[in-house]
Amino acid sequence: MARGSDLNLVEVFSSIQGEGTYVGATTLFVRLGGCDLRCGWCDSPHTWKPAAECRIEVGRGSGQFETRANPVSVEDVIAAAESLDLAAHEFASLTGGEPLLQPEAAGAIARALRARGPRILLETHGLASEGLESAIADVDVVSMDWKLSSDVRRACDPKRGAVEPFHGEHEKFLAIARRAPELIVKLVITPASRDDEIDEAVSRIEASAPEATLILQPVTPFGAVREAPSAERLLALCTRISNRLAKVRVIPQTHKIYGAL
């Protein structure tokens, strides 16, 4: 992994937010390489490992890219963002992979982009607590996943059999994340998602950060996950959880519908 002011980058591009409470908002995406989780539905497994090359969009909304070798500098990322009319975007999103596995770079990018206008939205798997601690002061919105072990494994876990749940690690992360001006927690719901693990997640959120917005995101079938949960299942979950948390939303991914990046 790159060190210091250098980082492993996957891509920089301009688009609109495709999921969560800010769906549809103009967003400049900075995607960093490397992830220590393996989600059954992941549609970007190329981000799991540090990339040899990255791509930079050459014009806002053009869909045209140039390729560069990794690692790149934070200054190069900022220059790429500015070339895409950075200040015209409502948000700059740090995403991955898992951006907090490169905490120094993530913090420096967030700080620099925020100073140029857009709000910083951090999209994270919600486990890298030390990385969040170093970046939280420069983040406006933390959008963290709450992973369910029915569909998610650590890269170091065996490929089959039960794995340790993520609840404790997420709760530790949540304690830091709630210092951001806005906190969003996302639960991806698949046909394999169990009531007991969902209820445990909700209990911990209710106890630790009841002000958070909880998003129930029906999975977009991909990879090992072949089906989405039924509408009846989503409605039942939303109804039950809304009795415990004030802000619960059911929001599917939209960028898959219109084919955006």
Distances (CA, A) of 104 to 127, 203, 226: 16, 32, 37
Residue 149 domain flag: yes
Domain extent at residue 223: 6-258
Q: What is the pLDDT of residue 255?
A: 73
Residue 84 domain flag: yes
Q: What is the pLDDT of residue 258?
A: 59
Residue 185 domain flag: yes
* CATH code, domain carrying 60: 3.20.20.70
Q: What is the pLDDT of residue 5?
A: 66
DSSP-derived pairing of the beta strands 37-39 and 152-154: antiparallel
- How high is the mean pLDDT of the chain? 94
The total number of structural domains in the chain stands at: 1
Residue 14 domain flag: yes
Residue 28 domain flag: yes
pLDDT digits 0-9 by tens, 60-99: 989 999 999 999 999 999 999 999 999 999 999 999 999 9
Residue 165 domain flag: yes
Share of the chain above pLDDT 70, in %: 96
User: Helices then strands (H, E): number in the chain?
Assistant: 7, 14
Question: What is the C-alpha to C-alpha distance for residues 252 and 258, in angstroms, rounded to an integer?
Answer: 13
pLDDT digits 0-9 by tens, 152-189: 999 999 989 999 999 999 999 999 999 999 999 999 99
pLDDT digits 0-9 by tens, 115-156: 999 999 999 999 999 999 999 999 999 999 999 999 999 999
The 3-state DSSP class for residue 51 equals coil
Q: Determine contact, residues 100/132, Cβ cutoff 8 Å.
A: yes
